Amino acid sequence: MKKVIEGSHAVSEAVRLARVKVLSAYPITPQTHIVESLSEYCADGSMDARFMCVESEHSAMASVIGAASGGVRTFTASSSHGLALMHELLHWASGARLPIVMAEVNRALGPGWNLWMDQTDSLAQRDTGWIQLYCEDGQEVLDTTIQAYRLAEMVNLPVMVVLDAFFLSHTYEPVNVPDQEQVDRFLPSYVPRIQLDTANPCALNQMAPPPVYMEMRHSTQMAMEQVPRLFKQVEDEFFSIFGRAYGPVETVLCEDAEIVMILTGTAASTCRQVISDLRSKGEKVGLLKLKMFRPFPTELIRKILEPIQKVAVVDRNFSFGASGIFAQEIRAALCNYPEHPPVFGYITGLGGRDVTPEILEDIYWRTRNNATPKAESQWVGLDQEIVES
Amino acid sequence: MMQEIRFHGRGGQGTVMASIALAKAFFKAGYYVQTFPVFGSERRGAPVEAYLRLDKKKILVRSNVYTPDHVVVQDYRLLQTIDVTKGLKPGGWILINSPGLPDDMDNFSGYRLACVDAARIALKHNLGTRTQPIINTAMMGAFARMLGAPPIDTIAEAINNEIPVKQQQNIEAAKDAYEEVQLYGMVDSLQTEGTAQSKHIKNPEKVNLTQVEPQLRRVAS
Amino acid sequence: MTTAQASSDHISLLISRSKISTEINKTGSWCFVRPGYQDRTAPCSAACPVGEDIGRIEMLAVQGLFKKALETILQENPFPAVCGRVCFHPCEGACNRGEFDEPISINKLERFLGDIAFLDGFGPSILNLPNNGKKIAIVGAGPAGLAAAYFLTRLGYVCDVFEAADAPGGLLRWGIPSYRLPSDILENEIQRIQNLGVRIHCGEKLSEDFLIEAKERYQAVFLGCGHGRSTGMNIAGEQMAVDGLKFLYRIRNGEKLPMQGTIAVIGGGNSAIDIARSLIRLGAKPIIVYRRRKQDMPAFEHEIKMALEEGVQIQELLSPVRIDQDGSDYILSLQEMKVGEQDADGRARVVPKDSKTQSLRVNQVFSAIGAEPDEVWKVPPEKIPEILTLSHCTITQQDLPIVFGGDLTNSNKSVTDAVASGKQAAMALDTLFQKGWENINDRLSECRVGNSPALSMEIYMGGDRKNRSRHIVAYNEVNIDYFQPCNRVVSLSVPLQKSICSFDEIDHTLSTTGAMSEAQRCFNCGICNGCDNCRLFCPEVAVTLEDNKRQINFDYCKGCGICVVECPRSAMVIEEKKV
């Protein structure tokens, strides 16, 4: 049924429909609405699940790791500093090959204290072995969360469903909330490959000395490499039931485009409008929406970008001393191609700064009017008065 | 054509809730909607903003609203500190919760003005207290009348679903405001010189002139 | 370690997983030291004149096992409610917790357990041996005599107690004011002794001839008749002073004795304090006159403090030289004294300060400088071949074994030392009958609590306590990481303005929750309370728990000693493995 709900509640509805058994989280703006409603579901009986109250995000992740090792479906959510505090255990969750699903609401890290949209928090966790899926609107958040369980349980890897603070988490819009029966059809009950059993005791994840550690890491990568293929399988099944699919990347008007803009999250949605406006002015511009960041869909991206003349990557994040993180990854994906388009990197929308249609148009024109990038990243929308003060 | 509405209110006035309930009412009436608050360090009484986008097709733009088509002001006293007309498109409606015409309307020329005494209506229906009336549902009713949409029935339904307490009183308040809202129409930019008394309202389209009271009460600032 | 690889849909899944236990690896063969469970002696119990097993008593109290806790006291002392009020509690001075924050209120806890026995009507069950046919005569129904009768009866003897007064209790009944020891408390505890079968014959003042008659009817005699006569001051006008002990007796006997004006009380012992505090209650203004300094007074510190709070004055370094009458007043002439060298027992000797005297005009003079035996046969003889002098009694064996005990022999004249005397006498006599005169010292020595002279009847009778190590746990052997600082319990008391108007008891007994939380503070030095740290910390999982008993599996114990270190209460030891 289509309902006007908040982005956060799209996550909560999905987690309820996925029949998650153990939840644990520590509140942090802008993630709180997600677990707030889930705790109500647990309390009022609309979810048959245990909500574990903990004293920190580190403990929240430790709790779901424990529960997942017991062989049940688990969920947690966090943001920014909370995610950073989980960092150590993010490695553990993936190394232990546990299919945990987490909603991560992109928020800036302090100082200066900032509650707003910024992708650096989730991108700083890119090497932890988690699958990362970035979402554009409420519907995609709900669908991706349900899919995430299917995918995680197929490959035994944890999945992070990423959504923008406020622009998505706190925005109400129509979302089709599926029936439980439909979801059950798509997502059968969990059959764990890893499960502690008191009747048949064993120790998990004890010492892995040099002769085996590398093989274990290789094994995780082998599973990661299967993700794009399996994600397609998951999406095909999802489509057959719900009629919606997103893909690891989505292209809009790229076939004949000279310039392709690469975006993630809600800014990708705004960019759809911009592309449409520019097209009506005769500009040959396309959009590549990047949904899957880990594993990085290198092959797909190469294929799409190979014939393109210029690529403009919009990063709402920054790696200090380097450049925007998505731009880095795109460059890395292309560099082994003898012929590849120049990659223009743009930094904008940090710490909740709005990414307006005007800014995206500006980025387009900058790319259009320069043969090669002036720098690895150009900062768009800086207030020169503050910069020079 | 997409319409953007900006709400000005105070923390604790139910501004965000009103924008959500209105969104749901519009959704019922067949619109695609998008609404979100401007999230800051809110506290009770501090100015807050929320945005509402309406369209007949899916809304793609997800940035803040800078050039609203209409604005809603949940408390006339906010006019002293906030330029509610900032970015407002010419001819846009300004709906103000106010017992009468505001004192200073210099900025309003070129816009259409509507006023409703939502506080009085709220108190009549026992919503909130004299010092803190709950005016958001009355404002929804007035809003529906001002724009001619959504239908008052969808407003009533949204209130029924969204407001956790006193649904009937809230619906009555919305309906009263729907009836009582004063739609003054376009403020004449040519006649805003001199004292406030000299300003007058040009005949607006869609406005039944008999609704305009002969003696316009002034609001003490 | 092993790794396990599962496969589903060709997804590689390699994690470390092991189903193999470490059982094959018998690390015990590597061990060169062995830990072991060894309950040890708590310093409080070694300091207790009767050697009560205090660490264990508090452990049982924490668990709410009040009856068991009471029985543990009764193993060593028939008077918990009495001693819980009047004991000078050297245990608390020895308490290891005192170094951490404040000592455990052992005395208040003993009182709580003593009182709850009667409130809850416990019928304590402790080991008593069957009647062995031997009869013992006991002279004096004070704390020493009653304790001797109590312990001898438990050892199977039939005891007749002869008491000159018309009710039993001795000093407990006549010498201690009721605001410190109400008579119903005393009567309850005496009744419990009588319930064992002890026969008390009151109003029977015996003469020396009794020792001859007794040979026919008894196998031994215990003399615990105390000091019946006040010590003289040897000063002019002494006959004008009131005998303090007789005064206390008259009050306890129910006489109404209104007092007024200023009254000098000569002496510095507990009796002097009791007399002064009783005088306050009767309306007088007492002044204690003591020849040494206040800190040298033999009275208990707590009692002196209470007396001062109640308004008793103490004038120190004044030695009475004469008493004169002046109309209805008395003039007490006093030699001023000064502190000289220390004497043998460490107390400062006092000597006259030039020839300076002063006089004190008072309405009455009371003397309370001590007491002595009233008849010479009650003094242990000297220079006879068959005589054995122990810490708390002296045994002679001429025709009939006679034990001199209580105040007759004790250097420390306290109620608890009197009980200790009765217990020592009982053990000595039993050993005499069982094993002969020459084995008394050795047998008693086996029953010592730690290194102290205190003896344990539980050890003597072969109870679990005999397995306890003599080692006294020191503060640095307690693992204080496991304890949180916490102030000791404070008992409620009657406000001063009210308490000095009556002879009603001043302090209240602890509440059950107060007692349990106070007992919780106890380190239980050297006594395993089953905290399970040894088992939880053992890295080899070599500690097993079955039927609430912990054991170390030496197949795996590698002697790391973590269990010993993590034992909060030093109830474990580690020693080199015997080859």
Residues C364 and C378 in one domain: no
Contacts of C17 in chain A (CB under 8 A): 202-205
Q: Is the pLDDT of residue B206 over 90?
A: no
Q: Is residue C12 part of a domain?
A: no
Residue B104 CA to residue B195 CA, distance in Å, equals 9
Q: For residue range C188-215, list pLDDT tens digits in order.
A: 999 999 999 999 999 998 888 888 889 9
Residue A287 CA to residue A247 CA, distance in Å, equals 14
Do chains C and B meet with 3 or more Cβ pairs nearer than 8 Å?
Answer: no
Interface of A with B (CB under 8 A): 4, 30, 115-116, 137, 166-168, 170-174, 266-267, 269-270, 272-273, 276, 354-357
Of the given ranges (C235-239, C379-383, C526-530), which has the lowest mean pLDDT? C379-383
Mutate to test the interface with A, among B58, B60, B66, B67 (most CBs of A within 10 A): B60
Domain boundary among C421, C453, C485: C453
Q: Is the pLDDT of residue B218 over 60?
A: no
- Domain containing residue C433: CATH number: 3.50.50.60
Contacts of A212 in chain C (CB under 8 A): 3, 14, 16
Of the given ranges (A59-73, A115-129, B173-187), which has the lowest mean pLDDT? B173-187
Domain encompassing residue A296: 249-387
Contacts of B39 in chain A (CB under 8 A): 30, 115-116, 166, 170
- How confident is the model at residue C8, as a pLDDT? 52
Q: Is the pLDDT of residue C29 over 90?
A: no
Residues C392 and C265 in one domain: no
Helix (H/G/I), strand (E/B), else coil: C96? coil
How far away is chain C from the Cα of A18, in angstroms, using its nearest Cα? 22
Task: Kindly compute the dihedral angle of the four CA atoms of residues A166, A169, A174, A175, in this order, to the nearest 10 degrees.
Answer: 160
Question: Average of pLDDT values for A187-197?
Answer: 94
Burial degree of C294 (CB within 10 A; 0-12, 13-18, 19+): middle
Residue of chain B minimizing CA distance to A168: B62
Residues A337 and A216 in one domain: no
Nearest to B24 among A4, A166, A273 (CB): A4
Residue of chain A minimizing CA distance to C14: A216
C25 confidence band (pLDDT: 50, 70, 90)? confident
Nearest to B63 among A4, A174, A356 (CB): A356
Residue of chain C minimizing CA distance to A192: C8
Q: For helices A210-242 and A138-155, give the axis angle rounded to 10 degrees.
A: 130
Contacts of B66 in chain A (CB under 8 A): 356
Residues A27 and A107 in one domain: yes
- How confident is the model at residue B200, as a pLDDT? 46
Domain boundary among C371, C392, C412: C371
Q: Is the pLDDT of residue C22 over 90?
A: no
CB A348 within 8 A of CB A327: no
Residues A289 and A192 in one domain: no
Mutate to test the interface with A, among C1, C5, C14 (most CBs of A within 10 A): C14
- Domain containing residue C569: CATH number: 3.30.70.20
Distance of CA C362 to the CA centre of its chain: 38
Q: Is the pLDDT of residue C7 over 80?
A: no
Look up the pTM and report it: 0.67
Residues A10 and A141 in one domain: yes
Contacts of A158 in chain C (CB under 8 A): none
Interface of A with C (CB under 8 A): 95-97, 154-156, 193-194, 200-209, 212, 215-216, 218-220, 222-223, 226, 230
Q: For residue range C212-241, list pLDDT tens digits in order.
A: 889 999 999 999 988 878 888 888 898 899
Contacts of A206 in chain C (CB under 8 A): 1, 16, 18
Q: Is residue C119 part of a domain?
A: yes
Higher pLDDT, C121 or B167: B167
Residues A203 and A258 in one domain: no
B39 with A30: Cβ contact below 8 A: yes
A356 with B37: Cβ contact below 8 A: no
Q: Is residue C17 part of a domain?
A: no
Nearest to C14 among A202, A209, A219 (CB): A219
Contacts of A219 in chain C (CB under 8 A): 5, 12-14
Q: For helices A210-242 and A80-95, give the axis angle rounded to 10 degrees.
A: 110
Distance of CA C170 to the CA centre of its chain: 18
Nearest to C1 among A95, A207, A223 (CB): A207
A172 with B23: Cβ contact below 8 A: yes
Question: Average of pLDDT values for C143-149?
Answer: 97
CB A345 within 8 A of CB A102: no
Mutate to test the interface with A, among C8, C9, C15, C541 (most CBs of A within 10 A): C15
Give the ipTM: 0.92
Count: domains in chain A: 2
Q: For residue range C413-426, list pLDDT tens digits in order.
A: 899 999 999 999 99
Count: domains in chain C: 4
Residues C558 and C502 in one domain: no
Nearest to B39 among A4, A170, A276 (CB): A170
Q: Is the pLDDT of residue C306 over 50?
A: yes
Residues C254 and C358 in one domain: yes
Nearest to B60 among A115, A172, A270 (CB): A270
A72 confidence band (pLDDT: 50, 70, 90)? very high
Q: For residue range A27-40, list pLDDT tens digits in order.
A: 999 999 999 999 99
- How confident is the model at residue C192, as a pLDDT? 95
Residues A212 and A80 in one domain: yes
With an 8 Å Cβ cutoff, is B35 touching chain A?
yes
Higher pLDDT, A266 or C386: A266
- Domain containing residue A367: CATH number: 3.40.50.920
C3 with A208: Cβ contact below 8 A: yes
Residues A45 and A186 in one domain: yes
Domain encompassing residue C177: 135-228+373-453
Q: Given a contact as 3+ CB pairs under 8 Å, which chains touch A?
A: B, C
Do chains B and A meet with 3 or more Cβ pairs nearer than 8 Å?
Answer: yes
Sorted by where each begins, the domain ranges of chain B are: 3-205
Residue of chain B minimizing CA distance to A117: B39
A357 with B63: Cβ contact below 8 A: yes
C579 confidence band (pLDDT: 50, 70, 90)? low
Residues A27 and A50 in one domain: yes
Question: Average of pLDDT values for B167-174?
Answer: 95
C13 with A156: Cβ contact below 8 A: yes
CB A191 within 8 A of CB B77: no
Residues A143 and A57 in one domain: yes
What HEC string does C309-367 produce?
HHCCEEECCEEEEEEEEECCEEEEEEEEEEEEEECCCCCEEEEEEEEEEEEEEECEEEE
Ramachandran bin of A233, using left for φ above 0, alpha for ψ from -120 to 50, beta for the remaining angles:
alpha
- How confident is the model at residue B217, as a pLDDT? 34
Q: Given a contact as 3+ CB pairs under 8 Å, which chains touch C?
A: A
Residue of chain A minimizing CA distance to B30: A174
Contacts of B33 in chain A (CB under 8 A): 4, 172-174
- How confident is the model at residue B42, as a pLDDT? 64
Q: Is the pLDDT of residue B211 over 50?
A: no
A194 with C9: Cβ contact below 8 A: no
A270 with B24: Cβ contact below 8 A: no
CB A161 within 8 A of CB A139: no
- Domain containing residue A149: CATH number: 3.40.50.970
Short-list C83, C79, C132, C135, CA closest to C108 = C83
Residue B98 CA to residue B8 CA, distance in Å, equals 13
Interface of C with A (CB under 8 A): 1, 3, 5-6, 8-19
- Which percentage of chain A shows pLDDT scores above 90? 97
Higher pLDDT, B174 or B194: B174
Residues C242 and C367 in one domain: yes
Residues C356 and C240 in one domain: yes
Q: Given a contact as 3+ CB pairs under 8 Å, which chains touch B?
A: A
Q: For residue range C332-341, list pLDDT tens digits in order.
A: 999 999 888 7
Sole residue written with tokens 């505890």: C189
CB pairs under 8 A between A and C: 62
C26 confidence band (pLDDT: 50, 70, 90)? confident
Residues A12 and A68 in one domain: yes
Q: Which CATH architecture has domain B3-205?
A: 3-Layer(aba) Sandwich (3.40)
- How confident is the model at residue B197, as a pLDDT? 39
Nearest to B62 among A30, A269, A276 (CB): A269
Nearest to A202 among C6, C9, C19 (CB): C19
Q: Is the pLDDT of residue B195 over 70?
A: no
Domain boundary among C323, C342, C371: C371
A216 with C15: Cβ contact below 8 A: yes
Q: Is residue C512 part of a domain?
A: yes
Contacts of C15 in chain A (CB under 8 A): 95-97, 194, 204-205, 216
Question: Average of pLDDT values for C64-91?
Answer: 96
Residues A68 and A170 in one domain: yes
**What are the angstrom distances between the C-alpha of C500 and each of A326, C252, C266, C518?**
87, 16, 21, 28
Residues C243 and C367 in one domain: yes
Residues A90 and A62 in one domain: yes
Q: For residue range A222-278, list pLDDT tens digits in order.
A: 999 999 999 999 999 999 999 999 999 999 999 999 999 999 999 999 999 999 999
Buried b (16+ CB within 10 A) or exposed e, B65-101: beebbbbbbbbbebbeeeebbeebeeebbbbbbbebb
Short-list A319, A342, A338, CA closest to A330 = A342
Domain boundary among A242, A264, A293: A242
- For the four alpha carbons of A202, A208, A211 and A215, in that order, the dihedral sign comes to positive
Q: Which residues contact C253 (CB under 8 A, 6 or more apart)?
A: C174
- How confident is the model at residue B14, as a pLDDT? 87
Of the given ranges (B135-144, B204-213, C89-98, C339-348), which has the lowest mean pLDDT? B204-213
Amino acid at C2: T
